[in-house]
């Protein structure tokens, strides 16, 4: 494939918006190293996320809070080397975006030092000024609502968010605020399917779900979960695509096909 063809096929933020408009499902997975990144890119994954979940998946920590900016830069740089087509999304770790100025410095590091093409940050309307500062300086942003792992202690655990009517209404409002602030993409984690569908229809930006039902514009899972190698109990919203597959690449391709065909997630994977 020529460099021109690679450029034409490259997934961009604009391409994600076109996919939402065309009702083509967006496929996303996590990666933390070049080997898996290359597999995901070759298989046709649209967005590869270097998540701060690396704290639990790679480092063996209890939660994502200890993950540092240096950790994110290192792993993102490794992943970037394996990507030609996929869009590289990188998490802003805990306390890395507490003010617009701090967020600009840290997001700038991810863009300049590790090749990030869009950064993801947790938080609702309180992140409005941060999102505005980043996007006005040319840094694409994926906002993150619902379950926010960086707030695990405040939330009292990993719980579905948005079951109560007032919380659901607030989440819908915050999605609109973040879109107006300039967010390019929205991620919903562990949100009731009905609410996630409502939010997806209410905003014009692409909505990616993890445990948010089938009515969103795309799906993301942790790579280790779909390969069935997650220690302990697998999340309800995930599926072991390695079962019945004869290779890791086949499992990844099964996941991509299931999301594109809208056969994943099914009822047992949603809230």
Q: 91: closest CA among 40, 26, 141? A: 141
How many Å apart are CA 217 and CA 21, to the nearest integer? 9
Catalytic residue among 24, 126, 189, 268: 189
What are the angstrom distances between the C-alpha of 173 and each of 93, 143, 185, 217?
Answer: 24, 13, 16, 19
Structure token digits, residue 27: 């496929």
Examine the residue annotation and report whether 189 is marked as an active-site residue of this protein: yes
Q: Please name which of 81, 85, 7, 80 lies closest in space to residue 46, comparing C-alpha atoms.
A: 85
Describe the crossing of helices 165-181 and 193-202 by its angle, rounded to 10 degrees. Answer: 30
Task: Indicate which residues carry an active-site annotation.
Answer: 189
């Amino acid at each position: 494939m020529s460099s021109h063809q690679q450029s034409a096929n490259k997934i961009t933020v604009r391409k994600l918006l076109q996919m939402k408009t065309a009702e083509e499902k967006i496929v996303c997975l996590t990666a933390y190293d070049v080997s898996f990144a290359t597999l995901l890119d070759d298989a046709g994954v649209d967005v590869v996320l270097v998540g701060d979940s690396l704290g639990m998946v790679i480092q063996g920590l209890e939660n994502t809070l200890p993950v540092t900016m240096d950790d994110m830069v290192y792993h993102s740089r490794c992943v970037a080397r394996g990507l030609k087509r996929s869009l590289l999304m990188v998490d802003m770790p805990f306390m890395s975006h507490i003010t617009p100025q701090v967020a600009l410095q840290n997001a700038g590091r991810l863009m300049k030092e590790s090749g990030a093409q869009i950064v993801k940050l947790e938080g609702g309307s309180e992140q409005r000024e941060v999102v505005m500062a980043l996007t006005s300086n040319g840094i694409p942003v994926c906002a993150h609502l619902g379950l926010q792992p960086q707030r695990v202690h405040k939330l009292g655990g990993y719980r579905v968010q948005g079951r109560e009517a007032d919380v659901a209404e607030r989440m819908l409002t915050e999605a609109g605020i973040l879109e107006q602030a300039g967010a390019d993409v929205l991620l919903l984690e562990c949100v009731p399917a009905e609410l996630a569908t409502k939010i997806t229809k209410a905003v014009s930006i692409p909505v990616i779900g993890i445990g948010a039902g089938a009515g969103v514009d795309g799906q993301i899972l942790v790579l280790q979960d779909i390969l069935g190698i997650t220690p302990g109990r697998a999340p309800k919203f995930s599926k072991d695509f390695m079962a019945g597959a004869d290779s890791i690449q086949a499992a990844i391709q099964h996941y991509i096909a299931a999301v594109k065909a809208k056969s994943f997630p099914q009822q047992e994977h949603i809230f």
